[in-house]
Structure 1
Amino acid sequence: MPRITRILPAVLLLFSFGTTSLWAEDTYQVFILAGQSNMEGKASNELLEHQATDEKTKEFYAEFRKDDKWIERDDVMIKFLNRKGPLTIGYGSPNKTGLELAFGFAMGEAYDEPVLLIKTAWGGHSLYQKFRSPSAGMPSEEVLQEELAQAQKRVQNNNEKRNRNDPLPTMEQIKSEYGISYRAMLGEVDNTLKNAGELFPELKGKKPHIAGFVWFQGFNDMFGDYAPSEYAQNMKHLIHDIRKAWNSPNLPVVIGALGQNGSGEPQANMKKIQDAQFAMNQVPEFAGNVKTIATDEMVDKTAEDLFPGWQDHFEEWKLVGSDRPYHYLGSGIWYSRIGKKMAETMLELKKEASQN
Structure 2
Amino acid sequence: MTIRPLVALLVGATWGAVAAPGGEPLKVFILAGQSNMQGHAAVETFDGMALNPDAAPLLEKLRGPDGEPIVLEDVRISSVGGNRDETLVSAGPLTAGFGAEGRGAKIGPELSFGVTMHELLGEPILLIKTAWGGKSLHTDFRPPSAGPRTLTEGELKRAEERSEDPAALQAELNDRSGAYYRKMLSHVHAALADVDELHPAHDPADGYELAGFVWFQGWNDMVAGDQYPSRGEPGGYDEYSRLLATFIRDVRKDLGAPELPFVIGVLGVGGPVADYRSDQQRYAATHTHFRDAMAAPAALLEFQGNVAVVRTEEYWDAAVADLVHRRNRLNGERNRMAKAVKAGDMTPAEADAAQEALPDALTPAEEARLEASVSNAEYHYLGSATILGRIGEAFAKANATLLKSAGDGR
| Shorter-chain TM-score range | 0.7 to 0.9
Per the TM alignment, residue 282 of structure 1 is displaced from its structure 2 partner at its CA by: 1.4
Name the counterpart of 1:323.
376
Structure 1 CA distance for aligned equivalents of residues 154 and 49 of structure 2: 51
Per the TM alignment, residue 327 of structure 1 is displaced from its structure 2 partner at its CA by: 0.8
Query: Is contact 2:40–2:100 with CA below 8 Å preserved after alignment?
Result: yes
Structure 2 CA distance for aligned equivalents of residues 310 and 324 of structure 1: 13
Per the TM alignment, residue 145 of structure 1 is displaced from its structure 2 partner at its CA by: 8.1
Q: What SS does the aligned partner of 1:83 have? A: strand
Name the counterpart of 1:96.
106
Per the TM alignment, residue 58 of structure 1 is displaced from its structure 2 partner at its CA by: 5.5
Name the counterpart of 1:243.
252
In the alignment, does 2:262 pair up with 1:253? yes
In the alignment, does 2:201 pair up with 1:191? no
Per the TM alignment, residue 224 of structure 1 is displaced from its structure 2 partner at its CA by: 2.6
CA separation of 1:155 and 1:58: change in aligned 2, threshold 3 A: farther
Structure 1 CA distance for aligned equivalents of residues 160 and 109 of structure 2: 39
**Aligned amino acid, residue 107 of structure 1:** M
Stretch of structure 1 that moved more, 235-244 or 340-349: 340-349
What TM-score do the two structures reach when normalised by structure 1? Answer: 0.82
- Offset from partner CA, 1:163-217 (integer Å, 9 cap, x none): xxxxx96432221110001000000000111123234423362522111100001
- Offset from partner CA, 1:82-110 (integer Å, 9 cap, x none): 21111111211122111111111111123
Stretch of structure 1 that moved more, 107-116 or 38-47: 107-116
Structure 1 CA distance for aligned equivalents of residues 202 and 156 of structure 2: 46
Stretch of structure 1 that moved more, 211-220 or 317-326: 317-326
Structure 1 CA distance for aligned equivalents of residues 21 and 288 of structure 2: 41
Name the counterpart of 2:288.
271
Name the counterpart of 1:203.
202
What TM-score do the two structures reach when normalised by structure 2? Answer: 0.72
Output aligned runs, 1:19-38, within 5 Å. Answer: 24-25=22-23, 27-38=25-36
Name the counterpart of 2:315.
298
Structure 2 CA distance for aligned equivalents of residues 305 and 129 of structure 1: 35
- Offset from partner CA, 1:1-41 (integer Å, 9 cap, x none): xxxxxxxxxxxxxxxxxxxxx99526211100000000001
In the alignment, does 2:139 pair up with 1:86? no
Per the TM alignment, residue 52 of structure 1 is displaced from its structure 2 partner at its CA by: 6.5
CA separation of 1:232 and 1:52: change in aligned 2, threshold 3 A: closer
CA separation of 1:29 and 1:154: change in aligned 2, threshold 3 A: farther
Query: Is contact 2:264–2:308 with CA below 8 Å preserved after alignment?
Result: yes
**Aligned amino acid, residue 298 of structure 2:** N
What is the count of residue pairs matched by the alignment? 321
CA separation of 1:199 and 1:308: change in aligned 2, threshold 3 A: same
For the aligned residues, what is the CA RMSD? 2.7
- Offset from partner CA, 1:136-187 (integer Å, 9 cap, x none): 11234xx36863664686798xxxxxxxxxxx96432221110001000000
Name the counterpart of 2:396.
343
Per the TM alignment, residue 317 of structure 1 is displaced from its structure 2 partner at its CA by: 2.2
Stretch of structure 1 that moved more, 281-290 or 267-276: 267-276
CA separation of 1:154 and 1:317: change in aligned 2, threshold 3 A: farther
In the alignment, does 2:254 pair up with 1:226? no
**Aligned amino acid, residue 322 of structure 2:** D
Structure 2 CA distance for aligned equivalents of residues 79 and 234 of structure 1: 27
